Amino acid sequence: MKGASTERVMSNYERYRAAATNRPEYYPIGLTPDPARYRPIGAWIGRLILPQPGERESVLGAWLELHHAPAEYASLVGTQVRLRWAPTLDLNARLWGATRSVHLDENAREALAEGTVLGERLDGREHVNPLEALAGAHAHDDLCVRLQGEMAVEQAPPDGGPPVLSITRMPAEITGRFYGLVTFLGPSGTEDGYLVRHYDRDARAFSGPEEQVQLPEVVPDGNGTRNSTAAGIERSPCNPEGWYIYGALDAAGRFVVRALAPRALLRLEPQLYCDRTEECMAYLKPRQWRAFATKGHATTALLCGDGVTPHTARESWREGERALLIHLYGGIGGDNAEPAARTPLYWGHFAFGEARVVREPLADELAFDIVYHQVYAHNADGLTAGALHYSRYSGDRQYGWAGARPIQDILIRLDSITRPFLLGRREVSALDTIIAQLEVMTARYRIADGRGGTRVGALNNCAQDSAQALYTAISTVSRTLSGRGGIAEQLLAVPGQEQRLADLRAIWDELRAVLVPWGSARADWEYGVAVLGGGEYDGLLGTLGRAAQSWRTMLPPVAARAIAEVFFEHGASAWVLRTFQVGGDDPSIAPFVPNV
């Protein structure tokens, strides 16, 4: 491997892989748990595999080892298919536009030596596309994904090669293949074994079959901290309402729990209501967040902006509704605190995402399906920028954060953002455009525009670059809907669309004032200049000057509140989902809420 060092700090990613249960090959393909107790995480699930150099021209994306598929394609499970994006003008423009040749620079090589996980298998490859960048993000082919959006299947493609799956959305990283809904009863007395009782949806209670599952203890990181623990999970405050458990069957047919989500967090049953923008914003302040920060708990609140009643807000969250998600996490405090949480100021991490209201079949109730779009710099854990399902980013017991950090997710519903505009038979969606921009931004982050490694700086960080995607997306939709060629007439053909467009324009003006308070936008925001993740412009003073143009986005909690306030003032409603180191109890750590 070009330029590889023989002496490196071991990354957390390699440390975690030492446990066999953290590797996808531990779980035989084709083993399916009882469908009355478990459901697949998605219709199409598989493991990404980086094509060999000689395969790239025929693959034009990545290999996907299929672990689950719809019944009519069951014969493909266990085989490798070619995964590509659909050959539309929009997708080709966006995703080939994010394609770069990868040559690790000196900073990237230094980061590798220090234990940062980079896509070093991509080093020296020309024209690395976003699917390759995702498949090659780790040293091993171990990223498992759920396919999203519309797709096409060619079982017998014209070139005579393996089947082709063409997708319209980038895949979402997941943990596990199946999920169940259980309450924990306690250790079974065997190694890693725990007794659980399944939910009975007819009885609306945890009165279903009892089962032993495997709950392996996770590997500690380089700081000696475990991202979660099984200890005492049966005594968790979340246990009475149950847990969604994500995992797969091992060779012995035992279900191994690799990720958790509190049912109380995802079901649409708020514990608290707030109305009026002023009250909503008070709830989002650090003081209120800390006031609810009881270790082990999960809280949900429904916030209603100006002009929206709690009843109206609650009724508007129906099956199929979508939301823009604003994510924040805090630090790991306590006796075994992470170094960053020992400083006077702690900013946390910011990201956008999306949520959809689905009817969850095991409980037969409405629940949120959450996918984060993480603009995330390379790190020692191997967290890969892109779309990450809740099971991977928050819930994963080894790699996720819900067991170790306080997390706040704001799920925002506002018609001008989350409902599409209809132009004849064409839909134009602000939310879809935001996601499309985030897909490009995260693809660039995975390979650092060809440099190989991203790092956090004043000018470009998670909040800055996520905000750039939001800024660009709303600007794009506003321009599109203000175009010529009969656009105005098509908008007027659907009642209420003209007012929604006026709302979108007003939101754009206010977001512009919030994100760029001192006049014109930064050049990289206005024109998409390809510098990100710590890339340099013109020295320290130039960098700070440009960063100051969007100063609120330098502080993730401030950015989150500022963006949310604009939406509340225009009548948005939002769910605020918070967790405080949920799962088993590790007395050596405590939740540390961002204090700005």
CATH number at residue 197: 2.40.50
Q: Are residues 34 and 123 in the same domain?
A: yes
Helix (H, G, I), strand (E, B) or coil at 199: coil
Residue 318 lies in a domain: no
**Minimal CA–CA distance to 573: which of 321, 309, 279, 351?**
309
DSSP-derived secondary structure for 435-480: HHHHHHHHHHHHHGGGTS-----SSSSHHHHHHHHHHHHHHHHHHH
- Same domain for 150 and 38? yes
Per the domain annotation, does 234 fall within a domain?
Answer: yes
Which of 207, 231, 263 corresponds to the end of one domain?
Answer: 263
Q: Are 580 and 310 in contact (CB under 8 A)?
A: no
Asked if residue 294 belongs to a domain, the reply is no
DSSP code of 57? H
**pTM, full prediction:** 0.93
pLDDT tens digits, one per residue of 326-372: 999 999 999 998 988 887 778 889 999 999 999 999 999 999 999 99
Residues 29 and 154 both lie in one domain: yes
> Domain range spanning residue 542?
433-559
More confident residue, 177 or 479: 177
Residues 17 and 151 in one domain: yes
State residue 521's pLDDT score. Answer: 45
pLDDT of residue 485: 67
Could you tell me which of 211, 157, 162 has the C-alpha nearest to residue 182? Answer: 211
472 found inside a domain: yes
Q: pLDDT at residue 534 above 70?
A: no
Strands 322-329, 349-360: parallel, antiparallel or unpaired by DSSP? antiparallel
Q: Is the pLDDT of residue 547 over 60?
A: no
pLDDT digits (tens, 9 = 90+) for 230-242: 999 999 999 999 9
pLDDT at 1: 44
Rounded-to-integer distance, Cα 252 and Cα 233, Å: 24
Q: Is 143 found in the same domain as 37?
A: yes
Q: Token pair for residue 138?
A: 């780790």
Q: Do the domain assignments include residue 313?
A: no
**Torsion 68-74-79-84 (CA) sign:** negative
**Quick one: 185 and 162 in the same domain?**
no
DSSP state of 92: I
- Is 281 a member of any domain? no
CA 459 to CA 536: how far, in whole Å? 9
What six digits make up the tokens of 572?
A: 């948005």
Beta strands in 69-209 (DSSP E): 80-85, 144-146, 151-154, 164-167, 172-173, 178-187, 193-198
Q: Which two tokens stand for residue 11?
A: 């990354």
CB 412 within 8 A of CB 434: no
Instruction: Give the domain-ending residue among 244, 263, 282.
Output: 263
Task: Judge if 18 and 43 occupy the same domain.
Answer: yes
Cα distance between residue 157 and residue 82, in whole Å: 10
The residue count of the chain comes to: 596
Q: How far apart are CA 260 and CA 458, in angstroms?
A: 34
Residues 21 and 146 in one domain: yes
Query: Is the model's pLDDT at 50 over the cut of 80?
Result: yes
Q: Answer yes or no: is 399 within a domain.
A: no
Helices (H), ranges, 338-461: 390-393, 415-418, 430-447
Claim to verify: residue 24 and residue 163 sit in the same structural domain:
yes
Asked which of 140, 170, 200 is the last residue of a domain, the reply is 170
The span from the CA of 396 to the CA of 247, in Å, is 10
Q: What is the pLDDT of residue 267?
A: 97
Tell me the three state secondary structure of residue 392: helix
> CB-based contacts of 210: which residues, under 8 Å, 6+ apart?
185, 195, 196, 197, 198
Tokens 């246990």 label which residue?
239
Please report which residue ranges of 448-596 form alpha helices under DSSP H. 462-481, 487-492, 497-515, 523-527, 539-548, 556-569
Q: How many domains does the chain divide into? A: 3
Task: Say whether both 18 and 131 belong to one domain.
Answer: yes
Residue 241 lies in a domain: yes
Same domain (yes/no): 539, 498: yes
Residues 111/118, Cβ–Cβ less than 8 Å: yes
- pLDDT tens, position by position, 241-280: 999 999 999 999 999 999 999 999 999 999 999 988 999 9
Both 118 and 247 in one domain: the answer is no
